[in-house]
Structure 1
Amino acid sequence: MTIDHIAIWTDKLEEMREYYCRYFNGRSNEKYTNPLKGFESYFITFEEGARLELMRRKGIPQGKEGETLGITHLAFKVSSREEVDTLTKTLRTDGYIVAGEPRTTGDGYYESVVLDLEGNRVVLVG
């Protein structure tokens, strides 16, 4: 089996679409809209792996900031340690929060952690 997609509720649908397409080379489909339910979504497809569904509907409660039970982060594999460093720097320069500086973890990964527009943790793995 493989994971088909992961979904994120957002109040910033267009901005989140731009974020994942711009920084992670995602390709978006046309927006799906269900006016009866007040629902809108995009699927973002990446070069490999699962797709990301970004969804918006009024009345979805906002989550807690920081670490919580449940899905804790999305991880994107990049081509090298240098790309981890470069993308982390680009995201910081563009105003995004770097929640974890590039480092080698105890289990041997070279990674950094950035936050998207909704505060979701995005791990860059080189």
Structure 2
Amino acid sequence: MKLAHLALWTQDLEAAAAFWKSYFDAEIGDRYESRNRRGFASRFVQIRGIEARIEIMEGPWVTPHPGETSGWAHIALSVGSKSQVDTFADLFRHDGLLVSEPRKTGDGYYEAVVRSPEGTLIEIVE
């Protein structure tokens, strides 16, 4: 068994696609617009070196991210080294999207926590 993809709601599909492309050099798939669910659109995000994809989805019913609620809390992306974690943290800090400075956590990760424009938390781990 393997993880095929994760799905994330967004209020602005194209801004979300630009985020993943800009920060993670992701390949962004073509826009899909549903004929069965009016207003639903999605694109797949493929990050080099990660087999599973991220599906970003929008619809007029999507509300702003409420913060911590039941359900998935974050995704974690391993970048291979502490220096890479620090590099990503600097990039996100500059753009005001760094949530937590790089640190060694109680569960043993060296990580920085960042957020996407719609509020999805992303742990950048070594």
Please, what TM-score do these two structures have when normalized by structure 2? 0.90
Structure 2 unmatched runs, 5+? none
Equivalenced residues, count: 124
Three-state SS of the structure 1 residue aligned to 2:96 is coil
Q: Aligned residue for 2:2?
A: 2
Indicate the percent of aligned positions where both proteins have the same amino acid: 37
> Aligned partners of 1:11 and 1:120: how far apart in 2?
12
Aligned-CA RMSD value: 1.4
Q: Aligned residue for 2:66?
A: 64
Three-state SS of the structure 2 residue aligned to 1:42 is strand
Three-state SS of the structure 2 residue aligned to 1:17 is helix
**What is the Cα deviation at residue 35 of structure 1?**
4.9
Structure 1 unmatched runs, 5+? none
> Aligned partners of 2:65 and 2:114: how far apart in 1?
18
Within 5 Å, which residues of 2 pair with 1:1-126?
1-35=1-35, 37-47=38-48, 48-65=50-67, 67-96=68-97, 98-126=98-126
Letter in 2 for 1:88: A
Q: Is the 8 A contact 2:99 2:115 kept in 1?
A: yes
> Aligned partners of 2:65 and 2:45: how far apart in 1?
22
Letter in 2 for 1:83: Q
**What is the Cα deviation at residue 61 of structure 1?**
3.2
Please, what TM-score do these two structures have when normalized by structure 1? 0.90
Q: Is the 8 A contact 2:11 2:64 kept in 1?
A: no
**What is the Cα deviation at residue 39 of structure 1?**
1.3
> Aligned partners of 1:34 and 1:108: how far apart in 2?
43
> Aligned partners of 2:65 and 2:23: how far apart in 1?
24
Q: Is the 8 A contact 1:16 1:54 kept in 2?
A: yes
Three-state SS of the structure 2 residue aligned to 1:112 is strand
Compare 43-52 and 28-37 and name the one that shifted more: 28-37
Moved over 6 A (4+): none
Q: Is the 8 A contact 2:64 2:118 kept in 1?
A: no
Letter in 1 for 2:6: I
